[in-house]
Amino acid sequence: MSTLDASTMDEHPLDNEHIRTGLSKEALKRAFLDNLFYLRGRFREVATDDDLYQAAAYTVRDRLLERWIRSSRLYKESSARTVCYLSAEFLLGPQLANNMINLGITEVLHEAGEALGLDFERIIESEEEPGLGNGGLGRLAACYMDSLATTQIPAIGYGIRYEFGIFDQVIVDGWQVEKGDTWLRNGNPWEIMRPKLAFPVGFGGYSEQYTDEHGVVRQRWRPDLLVNGVAHDTPIMGYGVDNVNLLRLWRSEAPESFNFGAFNVGDYYGAVHAKIEAETISKVLYPNDEPEAGKELRLKQQFFFVSCSLQDMIRLELNNAGTLERFQQKYAIQLNDTHPSLAIAELMRLLMDDHLMTWDQAWTITRESCHFTNHTLLPEALETWPVELFERLLPRHLEIIYEINRRFLDEVRVRFFGDEGRVARMSLIDEAGGRKVRMAHLAAVGSRAINGVAELHSELLKSTVMKDFNDLWPERFHNVTNGVTPRRFIAASNPELADLISETCGNDQWVRDLHCLRQLEPHAEDHALQQRWRKIKTDAKRKLSNWLGERTGFAPDPETLFDVQAKRIHEYKRQHLNLLHIVWLYEQIKQNPNIELTPRTFIFGGKAAPGYFMAKLIIKLINAVGAVVNADPQVNGTLRVLFMPDFNVKNGQRLYPAADLSEQISLAGKEASGTGNMKFSMNGALTLGTLDGANIEIRDEVGHDNFFLFGMTAAEAQQQQAAGYRPWEHYQQDERLRSAIDLISSGLFSHGDSELFRPLTENLIHHDPFMVLADFHDYRERQQEIDHAYKDPHHWDRMSILTTTRMGRFSSDRSIADYAERIWQVTPMPVALNESPDA
């Protein structure tokens, strides 16, 4: 008998629906009340907001589990090729609303809530966001998990269950202050802990040689520290399908959490020391790696999660096939940036040392299984680890890396005879300035495919940081332009716009196939549609304004142009270019109070890395400029500046629908792709941007007339740098630029303190590594063009509608289809709930 058919399971007396799986209003009402009572121990009158949220989450999760079990069984029985997506980050965002959309129960669940006297929007709002990512990298991984399930491709996402995720950001006196992200304080209803599914992970110790019973000389590792990785599983539901994939995150714990021997002799700290040391590994996302202890912990984290994940894949394959000989045909392992690069060495160790394969057998499996996505061109972001640290923590893996390197460099020497410079550049070990292991090189050598994440990025990857590898293996290099899921970033974020699109198109097929948005294009000139489009935008701006008013004390006028730059705070993303223009505008209004300008609200959002002083100073300057501008009655009808605190997925979903203008202004050649640019454009924001990352492809798709382009190309920027870029000359020659910098230096925005922002202004004038000053003139002129364009609402609305309609290429569903066809060679495996799976 099926578990779901068990006689003990409650059924609704009228429609015979199971309380755990039914999708009717009555079934959902009963399920909600049962979960509130039996899982939370509450009745309606005394339930807190969190009680109500947890009951709703378990109600939705129950419906996922039936599909999850069915999917798992089908994948196992069919031996379906499975994508294993290894990522140090999975920035999922709130899950309740998204899962409701994917299950197709949003409307009926709201009706069930109304019947119970519940405000379901308030319940959704109360969900705590799991901050298991820093930004675009983790959010991309989450989008891809959504799309893998939606496109019905069997997949497992593997990562770390950080107890404390990306910090919560609060602003104190204009400065960023980091607060601990205690996202687990009320529990996580979406996950299922698997205490019996745990794998040992070693650190330190030594490697030794021995001869096995067949007389074969082998190597084994004797670590001096062992921790366990315990699985925590989250179901990932596809949209409009019954496929549910698995996100498996690992939590670290000590094999023995309490040492009674130490306790009995009075060593109370020693009694729990192993537990503390082990649990530290999964304690916090990205510890500060400036101190040596931080570097060591980050390396431990990376090895911890790849080792657990690979041991799990091996377990699954042995259970299913009984042998590892076809491992590479079963699994396509995707390394999301360099953080999982240790998978190359660890898979080799597991296959050779634990499963007694030869080097050649293990190397064939490893190289055919692994694929590497590069996400950056910034040299400082290409991970390296000191050999000394590697030798201390992972001695066996360093041996394997040395052997990979020896064999690889022999291949390079034969192919490029006499070119020892190339040999040194391509080596997995950087011998200059302290010996270091180059993780990007390890990933490239051990993978069958290497891809960039936008057309420009992929070309620059082949011509700059990985040129030597492209010369050796051009067939391994691919481009897969990033994408984002329209389920979360239109349907969940902007339901009013989603309804208008579906009504105008006559169907909602666009949610699953974003190219269907093109059906909207013939209506772009329709004034009635434009008016409804603008009203939806204004309503979104009003909602954001109210939210900002509650949290910052300042609610911007929704009738102003919302000019938004929201992304990680970093010099290459050039928030200070935006600020220089704002300061110049402020000066113009002060000098000419009758100047006619489109009223604007400039909104910034983003977090700075805790140890990144210049980024934190930029946040301080944004808030300092806002404090002066917003308090000045002479300008506050025309100009406002706000900083949105704690920008994350949840807050981003408030911001994307409200933006009129999206600023994507990084120096050309520095942003790998960007995904915020896609989220804003899908919601009708026009882009002010450089020819960088995916901006280029967005501009080509939406039409050059619907994109405000400025700045140097990547080639022009490289040429200027090579010729000896002199920012001082731009400062001297551009009076507007000079006056803006001087106004900041004067102390106007720092209570007369002319020293506070000097590190920022001096760096711009004398160094300017990201060429802010070189692009300022062109940027300012394009901003004036935007000022004029916004004054023609029909023209602006037409551009906004066309921008949304032409964003089909930037769905993560398309990205996954590209990976599946060109890199992974996997095919969809549809799941159908024809009958319930057996227990």
295 is catalytic: no
Q: What CA–CA distance (Å, rounded) separates 180 from 165?
A: 8
Per-residue confidence band for 318, with pLDDT thresholds at 50, 70 and 90: very high
| From 377-386, 586-595, 753-762, 804-813, the region with the lowest mean pLDDT | 377-386
| From 5-19, 93-107, 557-571, the region with the lowest mean pLDDT | 5-19
Active-site residue, from 567, 574, 640, 780: 567
Q: What CA–CA distance (Å, rounded) separates 22 from 703?
A: 46
Q: What CA–CA distance (Å, rounded) separates 714 from 670?
A: 8
Where residue 333 falls (left for φ over 0; alpha for ψ -120 to 50; beta otherwise) is beta
Q: What CA–CA distance (Å, rounded) separates 286 from 289?
A: 8
pLDDT at residue 255 above 90?
A: no
Active-site residue, from 248, 349, 573, 576: 573
Per-residue confidence band for 265, with pLDDT thresholds at 50, 70 and 90: low
- pLDDT tens, 631-678? 999 998 899 999 999 999 999 999 999 999 999 999 999 999 999 999
At 545, list the tokens.
């304004």
Q: How far apart are the first and last CA of the chain?
A: 8
Looking at residue 589, its amino acid is I
* CA angle at 89 for the pair 88 and 92, rounded to the nearest 5°: 155
3-state secondary structure of 51: helix
Per-residue confidence band for 229, with pLDDT thresholds at 50, 70 and 90: very high
User: Element (H or E) spanning 390, and its range?
Assistant: helix 387-393
pLDDT of residue 294: 82
CA distances from 52 to 6, 36, 103, 429 (A): 28, 7, 20, 54
Active-site residue, from 20, 40, 568, 581: 568
| Strand pairing report for 175-179 and 82-86 | unpaired
Active-site residue, from 59, 338, 485, 675: 675
pLDDT of residue 579: 98
567 is catalytic: yes
pLDDT of residue 13: 46
CA distances from 396 to 166, 231, 365, 407 (A): 32, 25, 19, 17
3-state secondary structure of 834: coil
What residues are paired with 385 via a beta bridge?
A: 437
Mean pLDDT (whole number) for 511-538: 97
DSSP letter at 236 equals E
pLDDT of residue 2: 32
DSSP letter at 484 equals B
Q: For residue 432, give every residue at least 6 positions away whose Cβ sits within 8 Å of its Cβ, in sequence order, or none.
A: none
pLDDT of residue 289: 62
3-state secondary structure of 652: helix
pLDDT of residue 9: 39
What is the percent of the chain with per-residue pLDDT over 90, rounded to a whole number?
88
| From 358-367, 432-441, 786-795, the region with the lowest mean pLDDT | 432-441
Q: What CA–CA distance (Å, rounded) separates 62 from 41?
A: 18
**Are the beta carbons of 37 and 76 closer than 8 angstroms?**
no
At 227, list the tokens.
């921790």
pLDDT of residue 5: 34
Sole residue written with tokens 């390079």? 412
Residue ranges of alpha helices (H) inside 292-351 are: 292-321, 327-330, 343-349
Please provide residue 452's backbone torsions phi and psi, each rounded to the nearest 5 degrees: -95, 180
Cα–Cα nearest to 365, from 336, 330, 397: 330
Cα–Cα nearest to 614, from 79, 166, 176, 117: 176
Q: What CA–CA distance (Å, rounded) separates 605 from 547?
A: 14
Q: What CA–CA distance (Å, rounded) separates 505 from 498?
A: 11
**Are the beta carbons of 574 and 772 closer than 8 angstroms?**
yes
Active-site residue, from 81, 476, 670, 679: 679
730 is catalytic: no
Mean pLDDT (whole number) for 432-438: 92
What is the percent of the chain with per-residue pLDDT over 70, rounded to a whole number?
95
Q: What CA–CA distance (Å, rounded) separates 770 from 668?
A: 9
Please provide the average confidence, as pLDDT, over all residues in the chain: 93
Looking at residue 227, its amino acid is V
552 is catalytic: no
At 336, list the tokens.
């999301």
Mean pLDDT (whole number) for 795-808: 98
Sole residue written with tokens 């290099």? 477
At 460, list the tokens.
């620059």
375 is catalytic: yes
Q: What CA–CA distance (Å, rounded) separates 145 from 136?
A: 14
- pLDDT tens, 27-67? 999 999 999 999 999 888 889 999 999 999 999 999 999 99
pLDDT of residue 29: 94
Q: For residue 265, give every residue at least 6 positions away whose Cβ sits within 8 Å of its Cβ, in sequence order, or none.
A: none
DSSP letter at 569 equals -
Active-site residue, from 63, 349, 375, 620: 375
pLDDT of residue 377: 85
At 450, list the tokens.
């290497």
- 265 or 464, which is more confident? 464
pLDDT of residue 839: 36
Mean pLDDT (whole number) for 167-195: 95
Beta-carbon-side half-sphere exposure of residue 134 (alpha carbons within 13 Å): 14
Sole residue written with tokens 């520290």? 225
pLDDT of residue 105: 96
| From 225-229, 342-346, 381-385, 709-713, the region with the lowest mean pLDDT | 381-385
pLDDT of residue 269: 54
Q: Would you say how long the chain is, in residues?
A: 839
pLDDT at residue 3 above 60?
A: no
pLDDT of residue 382: 83
What residues are paired with 707 via a beta bridge?
A: 687
pLDDT at residue 7 above 70?
A: no
543 is catalytic: no
Q: What CA–CA distance (Å, rounded) separates 73 from 372?
A: 29
3-state secondary structure of 709: strand
